[in-house]
A = this chain, B = another copy of it.
Amino acid sequence: MQCSQNTVRVRLQINGTFCLTEIGHGTNTKGMQTTAVYDIENEEFVINSSCFEAAKCWAAGLSQTASHAIVFAQLIVKGEMKGLHGFIVPLRDPTSLIPYPGLTIGDMGEKTGLNGIDNGFLVFHNYRIPRKNLLSKTGGVTLKGDYITSFKDSKKKHGVSLGHLSIGRTYIVCTAAAYGIKALTIAVRYAAIRKQFGPNESEEVSIIEYQTHQHRLLPHLACAYAIRIFGDFILPSCCQFIFDSLFDSSDEHISERGMEIHSICCGAKPLASWSIRDVIQECREACGGHGYLKAAGIGDLRDNNDANCTFEGDNTVIIQQTSNWLLKFWPLVLKQSRISSPMSSVDFLTSATEILEYKWEIIDVEQLCSPNNLIQIYQWLVCYLLRETYEKSQKAMQSGIDPFWVKNNHQVFLAKNLSIAYTQHLILKQMLDFIDKAGDENVKKVLLRLFSLYAISSLEKYHLTTLYRGGYARDYLASLLIQESMLKLCADLKDDAVALIDAVAAPDFAIHSILGASDGQVYKRLESAIMDSSYNMGKPSWWLDIVNKSYSPISKL
């Protein structure tokens, strides 16, 4: 907990933080318990945490540096609850950084990872702020304590707000990609250098030559590339959206665009963080014992990426936002309407009825690797899972089950897989766009192999059951070809693995791993790291406690 870069501003006038999550409530924002009661007499809000569960927590920069916070609290005016509103709250004297009376502020304590960022908690003890500190764009309070809201179309506002919140999730997609590439940089380079066994006693081969090792690393390499390319698309898209929503009023569909970006990011953030979690873990194991050294750098990556699965919305919960949004389109499909969205991510649903007619007609590895066929499979998956989730939910609803439970009971295998398939389809389309722009035919060829490997290994990992359950695949051939294609693509990509890593790897000082430097001097660096540590070569302070007393002249006396 050394510094909090994300709250440092250029002019250093305010170190801010953002307090929404409470000890007792995270994803369920409506359940927040912090209250802000308007005191007419003093024209102030009185902010209070009724109990420790109502304490704000996990806010980055809060525990050490923030002088101000945006705090979300339940607004109460004349005894009436008006829902969650944002307030600007001064936290500390900016000259001493001592918290103001009425606040208890501290750190959450040591975490599994990301300890370079502090995360704080905050308890309010009837803490007073001026009336004007309410962020009143959505709703304000008059001097006399009347609640006023100028927004008529709250739905429109909601879409824009959600779009703005997406920026954090797009950062996570990009960060996860960077983590994954770093882990692969270490594991792929090590796999090229490390030799073990061989066809005869005098010859050992690099472990990347083994089918098992190719299968361990190369589908993950394809995945990291896919997410990296997608990150390079979604981050500027999200920034552009925010810019347009603030400064360009010409887009009539700005709210729909916000909703779509929100839905994309609620799928992409979980998929990216989960995928990279698996990438990092496999890279750690693929580096064997030496990969378990802290100096290898993979353990820390895993610990840091771990947070990506949880913050900005727990993966399992926010991924439901994506399917919720998609489910709104099925009635349009039933009406045979033309479907189009600002980012075009669901336009193919216009052809859902035809897509659902498709069956597995692929007869060899080459056909399976073709981008058109793979895109078609993913489109079928989205349409099938959308229809199934919709129809099963409708049926349950008609049988009188509470909508709350209907939604929750159609997540596993249905809504969740729908969100995943939709996101993967979008990632794959984006990857194809990217490949199209590659000038060199040889580069294109290699990238297309990565594309196919990502698409096919994701089918194997996530969707095989659905392909059979939905009748798209009907016999042994789909399973056989999926397995054979993966092995062929791994073998074909093996010789390009190091070059693919070199093309995207960070410089050695940033990789900072004894196993993953670009010069391949694994054993030299390992030797230096081990030998140059004074701790490693010392004697423990407690050596006398475990020494063999029976050998000692003292004990013989």
Contact = CB atoms under 8 A, between A and B. Distances in A.
A15 B546 contact: yes
Interface in A525-547: 526-527, 529-531, 533, 535-537, 539-540, 542-543, 546-547
A111 B536 contact: no
A484 to B, nearest CB: 9
Contact of A292 (B111, B473, B527): B111
Contact of A465 (B96, B196, B306, B460): B460
Interface string A16-54: 000001011111101100000000000000000000110
B468 A483 contact: no
B289 A21 contact: yes
A466 B487 contact: no
B107 A293 contact: no
Contacts of A3: 542, 546
Given A212-B411, A281-B277, A476-B471, A197 B523 contact: no
A292 B310 CA distance: 9
B299 A285 contact: no
Given A52-B523, A310-B285, A547-B94, A404 B530 contact: no
B299 A112 contact: yes
Interface string A62-106: 011101000000000000000000000000001111100000001
A197 B536 contact: no
Given A284-B112, A314-B288, A479-B465, A106 B530 contact: yes
Contacts of A200: 404
Contacts of A480: 469
A477 to B, nearest CB: 9
A290 B311 CA distance: 11
Interface centre among A12, A65, A109 (most CB of B within 10 A): A109
A318 B91 CA distance: 57
Contacts of A109: 293-295, 529-530, 533, 535-536
Interface string A172-209: 00000000000000000000000011111100100000
A254 interface: no
A483 B413 contact: yes
A400 interface: no
Contacts of A288: 26-27, 310, 314
A474 interface: yes
B95 A412 contact: no
Contacts of A31: 196-197, 204
A549 B96 CA distance: 10
Nearest to A295: B109
Copies of the protein in its oligomer: 2
A104 to B, nearest CB: 8
A199 B402 CA distance: 7
A547 B67 CA distance: 9
B12 A548 contact: yes
Contact of A97 (B52, B543, B553): B543
B468 A196 contact: no
A327 interface: no
A533 B2 CA distance: 17
Interface string A262-302: 00000000000000010001001100111111110011001
Nearest to A51: B523
A315 interface: yes
B292 A52 contact: no
B106 A531 contact: yes
A247 interface: no
Contact of A111 (B15, B293, B416, B473): B293
A551 B468 contact: no
A189 B260 CA distance: 37
A464 interface: yes
Nearest to A24: B523
Contacts of A97: 539, 543, 546-547
Nearest to A545: B3
Contacts of A413: 483, 487
B466 A416 contact: no
B482 A465 contact: yes
A211 interface: yes
A470 B476 contact: yes
12 contacts: A2-B542, A27-B197, A30-B201, A31-B197, A95-B548, A106-B533, A107-B530, A109-B294, A111-B293, A285-B316, A303-B303, A470-B476
Which 4 A-B residue pairings sit nearest by Cβ, starting from the closest? A112-B299, A469-B479, A199-B404, A94-B548
Given A12-B546, A107-B537, A469-B476, 8 more contacts: A23-B527, A63-B536, A64-B539, A108-B530, A111-B299, A216-B316, A285-B315, A474-B475
